Chains A and B, each alone.
Chain A
């Protein structure tokens, strides 16, 4: 058991990290090269000022009109994304792993109660988004099984994580399951639509530049 655990958080974690980071870098580089080759004007119109303006506007909750029109999506959307990004990085247990593991670095850790709240937010977000996919017509129309699969991929590590933390069910089994689910999610990110964590800001950078620099108007 201990060997298995050591393998999972040791060599396998390294492999996962390489695929995850390498995959994201590769996607970024590949799309940038393609853009340079085939859409040179994209590079031409891209401007830092408008990019930052656009990113800024869309990072403020309820600032863009679209967000105000969909208050619940905005509410769950923000909490979900905050949780998805912060919990895996700053959770105490994870930090200990970073410290003890090969990296040997120490980071700020978030209080446990906060981690719990955010985990619940992520799970609630998954449920909310899934329900929306099933009930809102225009979303249902463009939803296929992969959209649900992605929600499961995200939900599983959080669900197993909190179950393991509170030692519900068999702890040992749950922690192994949690590690595997987390690793699976990381591996899947660069090769699925979750890749929007890289592509999303890129699309907005270009669009924001078009709206700001060429069209002289707001894109929110």
Chain B
């Protein structure tokens, strides 16, 4: 074997390494045989590929112009394996070309590409002259992996939690309400008359969060409650399953479960006869409620209006319901979460809120709808520790962007972005502090009811 061929083989092995640590993939592969692989792939492509698959694959002229869009590609010295179209080549193209007759080695790489090397951030879509939705093709690959039973272990666990409990974190019903009572109790020290209303029928706002909030970041619920209280909002939370707006099933390709989750969420809001759903600072959950899950449920339009908290906070400021008391003087930069910026155009509202509370804002470039993804979204961070380095190494461009701002605070109104950027900050010793909008507003707003 020639030297370069050996080097390439070594590199391939390197690329495959993390997957070996993933029992979800490896155990799943053990159970598969060639006939099943072929049948499942062909059935899925045939039944669900539809016109979109056909037109996307047949229109692509292999020009590679999408490559520069992808942070993985940029962070890996322009390695074509990480280019969006390169990822499609390693997944769907091959499945189509071989009519489903692909090997387990191929699948091992395909899972890795689809689940850990693409954040479904849809940035590449904006850079393709035709607007080919590579993220859609990668999602389709994940759907096939789901049907083959080779989804990475950690994210599969959260999908199981969704099916068993209707929330992402195996939070039991009493634990959920307990957490809310606990936060309400805590708040009495600061704001004696504060309540976290539960099950209030006919309220204006149904406030929903992702399950990691009660589990790990309970202070966010506290802060949101304070903001709601001080703004005089007529709001409620739910005590029943449906309170969690998150959705890992959307990312694993378990679309049936995704549809059930979103239906439960909307139906719970309808049960309480609220006027709108306001959701916490999370990007993927917004995508699932606003853009994906609702379509699976085939609703003509949203049965209940849905509002992301960035939008909501901007509204509170605009209507004078909350007022700025102090402003942050340190240098602050803004990270634009893909799912609410490229996914909902909230970039200007996000800036309005940040500028209201911060005097010294520096932008990252490119920003707004051209932002680079945090590399945690799209379910990648949820694939867990075996794949942590893939996303950190795969996003050195974000580290460079952050470093160049010279900011000491990064505002990112999204849970996934927080997870991802936190890791990037640590790995690159950037020494920056990460904040949600809720953190800033809670700390710097006027609180007339506080003692």
Name the prevailing secondary structure of the B interface residues: helix
Within 8 A of B (CB), among A1-56: 31-32, 34-35, 37-39, 41-42, 54
Inter-chain CA distance A220–B65, complex, in Å, is 13
**A138–B59 CB distance below 8 A:** no
**B58–A138 CB distance below 8 A:** no
Within 8 A of B (CB), among A53-103: 54, 58, 64-66, 69-70, 73, 77
**A138–B86 CB distance below 8 A:** yes
With A217-B342, A217-B345, A219-B126 already in contact, the answer to whether A31 and B80 are too (CB < 8 A) is: no
Inter-chain CA distance A138–B88, complex, in Å, is 12
**B130–A200 CB distance below 8 A:** yes
**B133–A34 CB distance below 8 A:** no
Looking at the complex, which of A114-122, A175-183, A201-209 is the stretch in contact with chain B?
A: A201-209
* Cβ-neighbour of A66 out of B51, B83, B126, B369 (below 8 A): B126
> Which of B52, B54, B63 has most A Cβ within 10 Å?
B63
**A39–B61 CB distance below 8 A:** no
**A66–B61 CB distance below 8 A:** no
Inter-chain CA distance A203–B66, complex, in Å, is 15
Q: Is A112 an interface residue (CB 8 A)?
A: no
Inter-chain CA distance A99–B59, complex, in Å, is 34
Q: Which residues of A contact B73 (CB under 8 A)?
A: 138
Within 8 A of B (CB), among A192-220: 193, 195-196, 199-200, 202-204, 206-208, 211, 214-220
Q: Which residues of B contact A211 (CB under 8 A)?
A: 126, 131
**A66–B89 CB distance below 8 A:** no
**A220–B126 CB distance below 8 A:** yes
Question: How many A-B pairs with Cβ below 8 Å?
Answer: 132
Counting chain A residues whose Cβ lies within 8 A of the other chain, the interface size class is 35 or more
**B291–A214 CB distance below 8 A:** yes
**Which residue of chain A has its CB nearest to the CB of B97?**
A144
With A203-B59, A207-B131 already in contact, the answer to whether A34 and B80 are too (CB < 8 A) is: no
Q: Is A142 an interface residue (CB 8 A)?
A: yes
**A215–B80 CB distance below 8 A:** no
With A142-B80, A217-B342 already in contact, the answer to whether A199 and B55 are too (CB < 8 A) is: yes
Inter-chain CA distance A77–B342, complex, in Å, is 27
**Which residue of chain A has its CB nearest to the CB of B124?**
A66
With A136-B64, A193-B58, A219-B125 already in contact, the answer to whether A141 and B80 are too (CB < 8 A) is: yes
With A66-B128, A208-B131 already in contact, the answer to whether A199 and B341 are too (CB < 8 A) is: no
**B133–A42 CB distance below 8 A:** no
Within 8 A of A (CB), among B175-213: none
Q: Which residues of B contact A202 (CB under 8 A)?
A: 55
**A139–B62 CB distance below 8 A:** yes
**A215–B345 CB distance below 8 A:** yes
Q: Is B386 an interface residue (CB 8 A)?
A: no
Inter-chain CA distance A202–B80, complex, in Å, is 27
Q: Which residues of A contact B86 (CB under 8 A)?
A: 138, 141-142
**A73–B63 CB distance below 8 A:** yes
Inter-chain CA distance A35–B52, complex, in Å, is 7
Ordered by A's residue number, 20 sampled pairs between the chains whose C-beta atoms are within 8 Å are A35-B51, A38-B50, A54-B131, A64-B126, A65-B127, A139-B63, A143-B62, A195-B59, A199-B55, A200-B59, A202-B55, A203-B55, A203-B56, A203-B131, A214-B291, A215-B343, A215-B344, A216-B344, A217-B343, A219-B131
